[in-house]
C-alpha cells in the first residue's frame, strides 16, 4: 500500500489507541453507570475490556487491524467514546472516520496496482454511481491502451462492456472483469493494431456511418 | 442496413503490408461512458497497403452494447476481437451477456 497513506493511518490510530489506554477505566465506569440506568447486565464491560486488551500497538498493527479498530469506534464497542476529543480537539469519531477513508483510498491504490500486474479483477463495493465507475474503470483498466492521438485503444470497449455486463447481471456491486470474461480476445502479433502501435501504419480517421 | 466504420490508413513503410481486419475486430468510442455503442466488424476485411500508400475502407459492423445509443462520431481501432463466433446482430448481442 501507499507508504504516505499508511503513515497517516498509523498516526491517526495512535490517537485512538492511546486515548483508550489512558482512559479505559473512565470508560468502564461510564458503561457500568449506563448499564445501571438502563437495567442491563455488564456483558458490554467485558467486551470493552477485551477490545482494550486486543487493541494492537500502533508500531505493530497492520493496516487492516487499525481499520478494524476504527470501525469499532464508529459503530461498535469503542463507540462509547465517539465524541471524546484528543489534544488537538478532534473527536475520536472523526479520527476513526479519517482512518476508514484513508484505508479505503490505500486499498483502491493497491487494487489498481494489482490490476496492473496479473490479478486484473477487482470487486468494488464503494462505487456509488456510474460516474465513479467510469473514473475507477479508467484506473483499473489502465494497462489496456487508450491513445486517441493514434486512434487506437481497447480500454473504452472493455470498460463500457463491463458496465453493461454488471447491469445485466442485476447486482449492485461493480465488478471489473478481465477482457476474456467479456468475450474479448487480444489480436495476434502482426495484426493491424500491432502495426499501428509500432508506427508502420497510421490510422488517420475512424468514423461511424449508417 | 449495416452500420459502417470508415477508416483511413497510411502505410508508413517502404514495403507492402498485407493484413486482415478480422470479423469481430472491435472499434471503440474515444472515452469511457459516452453512452454510445462500441462496434465489431461483421466480416473479414483483407487489406493490401502498397508502400507509402493511403487507403480508405468501409467496414460493416455490428453493435456490441445492446443497451447503448447507436454508433456515431469518432472511434479507435482496438487490440481486441470478439472471441466467439456470430452470424448476425442478434447473435452478437446474445454473446455479449454475462
Would residue A154 count as lying in a domain? yes
d(CA B25, CA B27): 7
Would residue A166 count as lying in a domain? yes
The pLDDT value recorded for residue A117 is: 38
Does one domain contain both A61 and A83?
yes
B64: enclosing H helix or E strand: none
- Stretch A195-207: mean pLDDT, rounded? 94
Q: DSSP per residue over A119-173, as a string?
A: ---EEES---SHHHHHHHHHHHTTTS--BTTTTEESHHHHHHHHHHHHHHHT-SS
d(CA A191, CA B13): 15
Q: Which of A59-63, A114-118, A168-172, B3-7 has the highest mean pLDDT?
A: B3-7
Query: Please, which pLDDT band fits residue A65 given cuts at 50, 70 and 90?
Result: confident
The pLDDT value recorded for residue A61 is: 82
Does one domain contain both A70 and A16?
yes
The pLDDT value recorded for residue A136 is: 86
* B8 closest CB neighbour out of A190, A191, A204: A204
The pLDDT value recorded for residue A197 is: 93
Does one domain contain both A76 and A172?
no
Query: Please, which pLDDT band fits residue A119 given cuts at 50, 70 and 90?
Result: very low
Does one domain contain both A187 and A137?
yes
- Domain count within chain A: 2
Does one domain contain both A47 and A147?
no
What is the pTM (predicted TM-score) of this model? 0.62
State which residues form the domain around A70: 3-112
The pLDDT value recorded for residue A40 is: 87
* A183 closest CB neighbour out of B17, B66, B96: B96
Would residue A10 count as lying in a domain? yes
Interface test with A, best of B76, B81, B83, B89 (most A CBs within 10 A): B76
ipTM of model over 0.90:
yes
Residue at a domain's end among A69, A90, A112: A112
Compare all CA atoms of chain A with the CA of B46 and give the residue at the minimum distance: A192
Would residue A204 count as lying in a domain? no
Helices (H), chain A: 3-38, 43-54, 63-75, 92-116, 130-140, 155-169, 192-197
Both ends of chain A: CA-CA distance in Å?
49
- Average the pLDDT over each of A44-58, A73-87, A149-163 and give the range with the smallest value: A73-87
Do strands A152-153 and B75-82 pair parallel, antiparallel, or not at all (unpaired)?
parallel
Greater pLDDT, A158 or A125: A158
Does one domain contain both A94 and A192?
no
Torsions phi, psi of A39, nearest 5? 65, 35
Does one domain contain both A138 and A174?
yes
| B97 CA: distance to closest CA in chain A (Å) | 6
CB contacts of B83 in chain A (<8 Å) are 180, 183-185
- Average the pLDDT over each of A16-30, A62-76, A194-208 and give the range with the smallest value: A62-76
Would residue A130 count as lying in a domain? yes
Contact (CB<8Å) B19/A190: yes
Does one domain contain both A87 and A146?
no
CB contacts of B59 in chain A (<8 Å) are none
A26-63 pLDDT, tens digit each: 889 989 998 898 888 988 898 899 888 888 899 888 77
* A184 closest CB neighbour out of B26, B31, B54: B26
d(CA A206, CA B86): 23
Record the cell numbers describing residue A60, joined without a space: 505493530
Does one domain contain both A21 and A50?
yes
d(CA A144, CA A200): 20
A17-33 pLDDT, tens digit each: 999 999 889 889 989 99
Amino acid at each position: 500500500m501507499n507508504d504516505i497513506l499508511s503513515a497517516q493511518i498509523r498516526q491517526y490510530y495512535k490517537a485512538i489507541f492511546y486515548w483508550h489506554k489512558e482512559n479505559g477505566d473512565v470508560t468502564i465506569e461510564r458503561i457500568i453507570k449506563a448499564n445501571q440506568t438502563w437495567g442491563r447486565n455488564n456483558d458490554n464491560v467485558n467486551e470493552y475490556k477485551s477490545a482494550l486488551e486486543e487493541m494492537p500497538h500502533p508500531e505493530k498493527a497492520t493496516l487492516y487491524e487499525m481499520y478494524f479498530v476504527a470501525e469499532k469506534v464508529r459503530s461498535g464497542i469503542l463507540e462509547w467514546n465517539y465524541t471524546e476529543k484528543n489534544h488537538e480537539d478532534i473527536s475520536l469519531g472523526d479520527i476513526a472516520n479519517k482512518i476508514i477513508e484513508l484505508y479505503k483510498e490505500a486499498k483502491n491504490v493497491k487494487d489498481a496496482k494489482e490490476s496492473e500486474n496479473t490479478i486484473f479483477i477487482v470487486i468494488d463495493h464503494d462505487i456509488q454511481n456510474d460516474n465513479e465507475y467510469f473514473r475507477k474503470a479508467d484506473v483499473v483498466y489502465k494497462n489496456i491502451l487508450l491513445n486517441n492521438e493514434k486512434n487506437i485503444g481497447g480500454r473504452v470497449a472493455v470498460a463500457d462492456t463491463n458496465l453493461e455486463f454488471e447491469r445485466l447481471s442485476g447486482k449492485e456491486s461493480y465488478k471489473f472483469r478481465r477482457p476474456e470474461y467479456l468475450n474479448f480476445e487480444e489480436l495476434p502479433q502482426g495484426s493491424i493494431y500491432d502495426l499501428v502501435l509500432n508506427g508502420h501504419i497510421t490510422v488517420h480517421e475512424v468514423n461511424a456511418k449508417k | 442496413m449495416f452500420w459502417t466504420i470508415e477508416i483511413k490508413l497510411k502505410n508508413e513503410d517502404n514495403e507492402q503490408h498485407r493484413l486482415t481486419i478480422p470479423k469481430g475486430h472491435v472499434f471503440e468510442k474515444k472515452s469511457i461512458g459516452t453512452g454510445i455503442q462500441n462496434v465489431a466488424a461483421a466480416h473479414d476485411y483483407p487489406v493490401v497497403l502498397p508502400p507509402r500508400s493511403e487507403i480508405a475502407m468501409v467496414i460493416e459492423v455490428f453493435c456490441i452494447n445492446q443497451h447503448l445509443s447507436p454508433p456515431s462520431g469518432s472511434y479507435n481501432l482496438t487490440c481486441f476481437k470478439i472471441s466467439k463466433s456470430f452470424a448476425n446482430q442478434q447473435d452478437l448481442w446474445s454473446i455479449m451477456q454475462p
